[in-house]
């Protein structure tokens, strides 16, 4: 460009070159931005849904990865957070017959068709345990299609059914032993209570002069009713007899009179 060009010719030329440069920059920036807006967004959206477990976008040709398997039988206390909010498709019971829980099951805080809620499951556990039908209980969440199958699983509590005592010597000893056992029908059964009952029965036999009895029992369990029938068979053994009797001081009577009054005649059987 010559330095002697008149100003009226120089101005249009400057404007033309500035406009050309501006258009070049505009088209360059637009071309750089266009691929990012059309390709990146759908891919990002599809990955988001796939990662959340909802599903994959139709715009994404890659198959969605299979969901992580849920641990079969894993206790609720070890449950994974992403179970929260899944729809409960079924509620089942294991350990106690379902027909014994029908009225209670219909009113549990955690309902079928509702989202799985940790607090509602905890309240359901407390209500089931408070029914007295379980010795222990836990909740297991298992995968059921796109929802949850909730299983309340526990050890059933057992109750005493009938109690019979046979074999002991004496017209009323068997009745005494049954009363001494304190195993009342309808109350909770446990091995600890059973062992304590046997010790009380032994003491009752000792009070009646049978110091070496043999006490055996059989348990007849009825799982559906959660009842245990107990049958004791007692072999009393040899009954103690009165031997020598001594009295210190002055009883005011002869020894024979004292023996007769105290029912401690030599050779007589010791009873309660």
Three-state SS letters, 3-60 = CCCCHHHHHHHHHHHHHHHHHHHHHHHHHHHHHHHHHHHHHHHHHHHHHHCCCCCCCC
Band (pLDDT 50/70/90 cuts) for residue 244 is: confident
Least confident stretch, 55-64, 69-78, 159-168, 188-197: 55-64
- Looking at residue 270, its pLDDT comes to 65
Band (pLDDT 50/70/90 cuts) for residue 202 is: very high
Mean pLDDT of 159-177: 93
- Looking at residue 5, its pLDDT comes to 52
Flag whether pLDDT at 62 surpasses 80. Answer: no
Mean pLDDT of 20-46: 35
Confirm if 240 and 268 have CB atoms less than 8 A apart: no
- Looking at residue 16, its pLDDT comes to 55
H-helix or E-strand spanning residue 261: helix 255-262
Burial of 80 (0-12, 13-18, 19+ CB in 10 A): exposed
Q: What residues form DSSP beta bridges with 164?
A: 231
**C-alpha to C-alpha distance for 92 and 102, rounded to whole angstroms:** 11
Least confident stretch, 50-54, 69-73, 82-86, 250-254: 50-54
The average confidence (pLDDT) of the chain is 74
Mean pLDDT of 216-224: 95
Model-level pTM? 0.57
Flag whether pLDDT at 71 surpasses 60. Answer: no
Confirm if 174 and 166 have CB atoms less than 8 A apart: yes
User: How many CB atoms lie under 10 A from the CB of residue 259?
Assistant: 17
Least confident stretch, 53-62, 211-220, 248-257: 53-62
């Amino acid at each position: 460009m010559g330095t002697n060009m008149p100003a009226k010719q120089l101005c249009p030329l400057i404007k033309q070159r500035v406009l050309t440069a501006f258009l070049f920059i505009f088209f360059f920036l637009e071309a750089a931005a266009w691929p990012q807006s059309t390709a990146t967004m759908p891919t990002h959206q599809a990955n988001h849904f796939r990662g959340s477990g909802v599903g994959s976008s139709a715009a994404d040709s890659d198959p969605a990865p299979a969901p992580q398997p849920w641990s079969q039988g894993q206790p609720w206390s070890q449950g994974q957070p992403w179970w929260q909010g899944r729809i409960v498709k079924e509620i089942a019971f294991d350990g106690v017959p379902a027909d014994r829980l029908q009225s209670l099951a219909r009113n549990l805080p955690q309902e079928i068709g509702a989202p799985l809620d940790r607090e509602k499951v905890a309240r359901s556990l407390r209500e089931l345990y408070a029914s007295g039908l379980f010795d222990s209980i836990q909740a297991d969440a298992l995968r059921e299609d796109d929802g949850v199958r909730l299983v309340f699983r526990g050890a059933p509590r057992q109750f005493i059914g009938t109690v019979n005592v046979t074999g002991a010597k004496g017209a009323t000893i068997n009745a005494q032993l049954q009363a001494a056992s304190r195993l009342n029908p309808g109350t909770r059964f446990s091995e600890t209570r059973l062992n304590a009952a046997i010790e009380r029965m032994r003491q009752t036999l000792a009070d009646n002069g049978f110091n070496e009895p043999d006490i055996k029992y059989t348990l007849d369990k009825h799982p559906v009713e959660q009842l245990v029938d107990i049958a004791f068979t007692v072999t009393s053994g040899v009954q103690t007899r009165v031997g020598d009797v001594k009295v210190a001081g002055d009883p005011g009577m002869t020894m024979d009179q004292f023996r007769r009054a105290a029912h401690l005649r030599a050779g007589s059987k010791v009873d309660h």
